[in-house]
C-alpha cells in the first residue's frame, strides 16, 4: 500500500510514527480536566509524568477553550503557564504553548517552549503572525471560527470537510503573506470547535482526514475526551453522555485510526494508551 510520510516541520525530525502530545491544562475549567492541575506545582508534576510516560511533546495551556468559556487576559495566562513551561523545559521536555496571545507565546518561547499551538490559528491576536514569523518556531493553526463563548452558533457548513479545508488553506495563505514560512505550519481540524454533534461534523473530519493531509502540511488532531466521544458512548434512558474521564479507551481508538490515516500528532490526556495506539498505527502503515 505505501503511505506518504508527513512533510517536514522546522525543528522536528521524523520519528517514523505519529507523535503524542500530552495535555497540561493549567486552568480551572477545561473540557475534560479543568481544575485538576490548576496550581503550578501540580501542573509541573503532571507534565513531568506525561513526559516520562512517553509524550513526545507536552502542551501547556492556561486559557480554557471549552464551549461557553470566557476569555482571560494575557497577564493572568502568563501567571498560570510561565512557571510550568520554564520547569518542564528545564527538565528536558519538548514543550509547546497553547495560547491565542502573542505576548504569552513570546514569553513562553523565551522560557523554553519550542512550538506555539494557537487554537485560533493567529486570528485572535493580530500580533501573533509577526511573532511566529520572526521567531521561526513551528506554529499549529487550528480551524477556528470565533471565541468559545459563542462558537457553537457558528457550526454551519455546506460540507464540513471541504469548508474546513478551504478555511485552513486561506489561513495558511494569510500567514505566509505575513512572513511565516510554510514549513513552520501544522494544521488541525479543530475537533469540537464550532462543530455540531448533531451534524456529525467531528466524525466527518476524522473520517476524511486525508483531505486535510492533502494540504501538504503535518496534521495535528485533538480528539481526546471530547464531547463527540461522550455522545457516542452515552447510556441510560434518557441518554447521558459518558463523562470525560471515562472516554480514554475511545480516545485511544480514535488515535489509532487517525495515526493510521497519517496524522502527524495527536493531542491527548492519557499518554501511555495513546503511545501504544500510535505504535500500532505505525506498524500497520509499515506493513506491505
* Catalytic residue from among 80, 225, 226, 242: 226
Distance between CA atoms of 158 and 142, rounded to whole angstroms?
19
Using CB under 6 A as the criterion, what x/- string covers residues 182-221 for binding ligand PMM? ------x-xx----------------------------x-
**In 10 A of CB 1, how many CB atoms?**
6
CB 226 within 8 A of CB 182: no
Q: How far apart are CA 142 and CA 145, in angstroms?
A: 10
CB 126 within 8 A of CB 88: no
Cis ω before 76 (30° cut-off from 0):
no
The footprint of ligand PMM on residues 3-42 (CB under 6 A) is 23, 25, 30-32
Question: Taking the complex as a whole, how short is the minimal distance between the CB of residue 242 and ligand PMM, in angstroms?
Answer: 15
Task: Please identify, using beta-carbon distances, which residue of 14 and 245 lies nearer to ligand PMM.
Answer: 245
Q: Give the DSSP letter of residue 246.
A: G
Residues 214-253: x/- map of binding to ligand PMM (CB under 6 A)? ------x-x--x----------------------------
Count interface residues toward ligand PMM (CB under 6 A). Answer: 19
Q: Name residues whose C-beta falls within 8 Å of residue 31's C-beta, 6 or more positions apart in sequence.
A: 64, 65, 66, 192, 225, 226, 227, 244
Query: Which position has the grid cell 479543530?
Result: 190
Cβ-based nearer residue to ligand PMM, 61 or 286: 61
In this structure, the number of other CB atoms found within 10 A of the CB of residue 155 comes to 17
Cell digits of residue 37: 492541575
- Does 71 participate in binding ligand PMM (rule CB under 6 A)? no
Q: How far is the CB of 220 from ligand PMM (least distance, A)?
A: 5
Of residues 113 through 152, those in contact with ligand PMM by CB under 6 A are: 117, 119, 140, 142
| CB proximity list for 2: less than 8 A, separation 6 or greater | none
| 226 catalytically annotated | yes
Q: Which of 56, 87, 98, 125 binds ligand PMM (CB under 6 A)?
A: 98
195 is catalytic: no
Count the neighbouring beta carbons within 10 Å of the beta carbon of residue 55. 24
- Residue 20 or 238: the one with the smaller Cβ distance to ligand PMM is 20
- Name which of 144 and 284 has its Cβ closer to ligand PMM: 144
Active site residues: 226, 267
Chain positions contacting ligand PMM, by CB under 6 A? 23, 25, 30-32, 65-66, 98, 117, 119, 140, 142, 188, 190-191, 220, 222, 225, 267
Amino acid at each position: 500500500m505505501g503511505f506518504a510520510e508527513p512533510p517536514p516541520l522546522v525543528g522536528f525530525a521524523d520519528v517514523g510514527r505519529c507523535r503524542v502530545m500530552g495535555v497540561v491544562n493549567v486552568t480551572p475549567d477545561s473540557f475534560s480536566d479543568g481544575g485538576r492541575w490548576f496550581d503550578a506545582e501540580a501542573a509541573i508534576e503532571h507534565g513531568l509524568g506525561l513526559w516520562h510516560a512517553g509524550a513526545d511533546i507536552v502542551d501547556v495551556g492556561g486559557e480554557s477553550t471549552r464551549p461557553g468559556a470566557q476569555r482571560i487576559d494575557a497577564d493572568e495566562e502568563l501567571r498560570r503557564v510561565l512557571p510550568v513551561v520554564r520547569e518542564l523545559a528545564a527538565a528536558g521536555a519538548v514543550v509547546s504553548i497553547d495560547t491565542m496571545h502573542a505576548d504569552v507565546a513570546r514569553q513562553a518561547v523565551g522560557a523554553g517552549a519550542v512550538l506555539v499551538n494557537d487554537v485560533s490559528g493567529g486570528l485572535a491576536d493580530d500580533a501573533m503572525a509577526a511573532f511566529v514569523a520572526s521567531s521561526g518556531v513551528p506554529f499549529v493553526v487550528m480551524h477556528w471560527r470565533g471565541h468559545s463563548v459563542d462558537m457553537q452558533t457558528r457550526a454551519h457548513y455546506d460540507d464540513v470537510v471541504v469548508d474546513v479545508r478551504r478555511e485552513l488553506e486561506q489561513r495558511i495563505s494569510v500567514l505566509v503573506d505575513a512572513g511565516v514560512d510554510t514549513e513552520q505550519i501544522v494544521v488541525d481540524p479543530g475537533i469540537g470547535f464550532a462543530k455540531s454533534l448533531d451534524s456529525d461534523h467531528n466524525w466527518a473530519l476524522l473520517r476524511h482526514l486525508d483531505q486535510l493531509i492533502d494540504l501538504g502540511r503535518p496534521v495535528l488532531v485533538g480528539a481526546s475526551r471530547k464531547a463527540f466521544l461522550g455522545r457516542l458512548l452515552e447510556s441510560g434512558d434518557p441518554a447521558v453522555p459518558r463523562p470525560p474521564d471515562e472516554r480514554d479507551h475511545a480516545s485511544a481508538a480514535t488515535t489509532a485510526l487517525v495515526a493510521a490515516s497519517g496524522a502527524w500528532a495527536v493531542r491527548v490526556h492519557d499518554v501511555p494508551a495513546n503511545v501504544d495506539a500510535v505504535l500500532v498505527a505505525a506498524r500497520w502503515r509499515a506493513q506491505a
